[in-house]
């Protein structure tokens, strides 16, 4: 069978979907097969460092909130709208996102949009004289 120009281009077009699907699915399979899963980090914070009701931790970014019942709340500082780092406003006692203005109350509950979800709560407990936070990276925002 003679290879004409028409047949040559036709064979390229025939294999184009296979190449497209292969190159688009490569990142997906790479993530599934070789990812380490959810990356976690145990963060230890001395209790004596918690001098106010809300303490900002820079790495990983989170706030430690002392609740009234002597419990500890660890809130991820990433805004659940698009991931900016929220700030604590001590005068209003709320968290405010500098990017689009979402607001969260002291418990991390969203009180003003555009976000529709509360801040992520990290598992935290007090062991001896430290707050132990099991910080989880790679949340879906």
Pick between residue 44 and residue 82 the one whose CB is nearest to ligand FES.
82
Q: Which residues bind ligand FES (CB under 6 A)?
A: 79, 81-82, 84, 97, 99-102, 114-115
Pick between residue 43 and residue 79 the one whose CB is nearest to ligand FES.
79
Closest contact distance (angstroms) between CB of 139 and ligand FES is: 14
**Rounded Cα distance, 106 and 113, in Å:** 16
Closest contact distance (angstroms) between CB of 20 and ligand FES is: 33
Pick between residue 101 and residue 123 the one whose CB is nearest to ligand FES.
101
Under 8 Å between Cβ of 141 and 82: yes
Distances, alpha carbon 46 to alpha carbons 64, 120, 135, 138, in Å: 11, 22, 16, 25
């Amino acid at each position: 069978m003679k290879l004409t120009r028409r047949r040559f281009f036709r064979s390229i077009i025939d294999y184009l979907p296979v190449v497209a699907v292969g190159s688009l699915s490569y990142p997906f399979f790479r993530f599934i097969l070789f990812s380490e899963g959810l990356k976690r980090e145990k963060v230890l914070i001395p209790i004596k460092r918690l001098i106010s009701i809300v303490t900002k931790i820079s790495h990983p970014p989170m706030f430690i909130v002392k609740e009234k019942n002597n419990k500890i709340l660890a809130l991820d500082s990433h805004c659940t709208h698009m991931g900016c780092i929220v700030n604590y406003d001590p005068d209003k006692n709320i968290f405010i996102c500098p990017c689009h203005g979402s607001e969260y109350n002291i418990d991390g509950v969203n009180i003003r949009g555009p976000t529709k979800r509360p801040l992520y709560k990290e598992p935290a407990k007090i062991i001896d004289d430290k707050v132990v936070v099991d910080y989880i990276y790679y949340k879906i925002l």
